[in-house]
Amino acid sequence: QSALTQPASVSGSPGQSITISCTGTSSDVGGYNYVSWYQHHPGKAPKLMIYDVTKWPSGVPDRFSGSKSGNTASLTISGLQAEDEADYYCCSYAGSYSWVFGGGTKLTVL
Amino acid sequence: EVQLVESGGGLIQPGGSLRLSCAASGFIVSSTYMTWVRHAPGEGLEWVSVLYRGGNSQYTESVKGRFTISRDNSKTTLYLQMNSLRAEDTAVYYCGRGYGSGSFDIWGQGTMVTVSS
């Protein structure tokens, strides 16, 4: 299956809000409410930020929120902080016991 | 503390084999589904394989027939047997614990696999 489509990079100033999109197809993002988002610093363990499209794991601040419309999911980070600078990946269940990740988005906090 | 620790990576020639291990602490690997994901240099994360509680498994197309996911009887270690390795398998490999029905909440720090002559 093809990788989900994410913008290569986004940026924002501290305190601002940014949104990262994640576009798939009806066979993955559009077909299941199993979209998750991961924060990743290369060489370190990925961190689950959002699961099941809109839910927060314990310990993740509610500045992070998720949504979905059709075949596109989105991650919004409000009140941007310097520590949010990282790579962000969306991931969707794609049926037949398989998953697919997005290409990743590098978030720069200006 | 719940954690995962990968090991077994290294430099291997094309066509060779490696077995990656993922040691779990704080939980039993057979209690949920488990996954392997890789991160090739300059690329994004790529899902590789999953092993379900009941023993069902699945693989991304590019590794089918070459990689095998398994777990040990003590239920504390997940494995990824990688055969017929190719240069394009070069990546950091991460294991992850299934959470809910469609996500992964605990990840290891990764182990580097380099396939090169």
List the B3-7 sheet strands across, edge first: B3-7, B18-25, B77-82, B67-71
Q: Which residues contact B33 (CB under 8 A, 6 or more apart)?
A: B50, B51, B52, B53, B98
**What's the CA angle centered on B103, arms B92 and A28, to 5 degrees?**
95
Residue B77 forms contact with A (CB below 8 Å): no
CB < 8 Å to B94, chain A? 45-46
Nearest CA in chain A to B36: A99
> Do residue B47 and residue A48 have CB atoms under 8 angstroms apart?
no
**What's the CA angle centered on A105, arms B112 and A53, to 5 degrees?**
100
**DSSP annotation of A55:** B
Determine the Cα–Cα distance for residues B102 and A86; give it in Å rounded to an integer. Answer: 23
Determine the Cα–Cα distance for residues B114 and B43; give it in Å rounded to an integer. Answer: 15
pLDDT at residue B101 in the model: 85
> Do residue A97 and residue B99 have CB atoms under 8 angstroms apart?
no
Q: What is the pLDDT along chain B (117 residues), one digit of tens a residue?
A: 999 999 999 999 999 999 999 999 999 998 899 999 999 999 999 999 999 999 999 999 999 999 999 999 777 999 999 999 999 999 999 999 999 889 999 999 999 999 999
Nearest CA in chain A to B6: A45
Nearest CA in chain B to A52: B102
pLDDT at residue B51 in the model: 96
**DSSP annotation of A8:** S
> Do residue B103 and residue A34 have CB atoms under 8 angstroms apart?
yes
Residue at token pair 């995962």? B4
Burial track B5-34 (b if 16+ CB lie within 10 A, e otherwise): ebebbeebeeeeebebbbbbeeeebbebbb
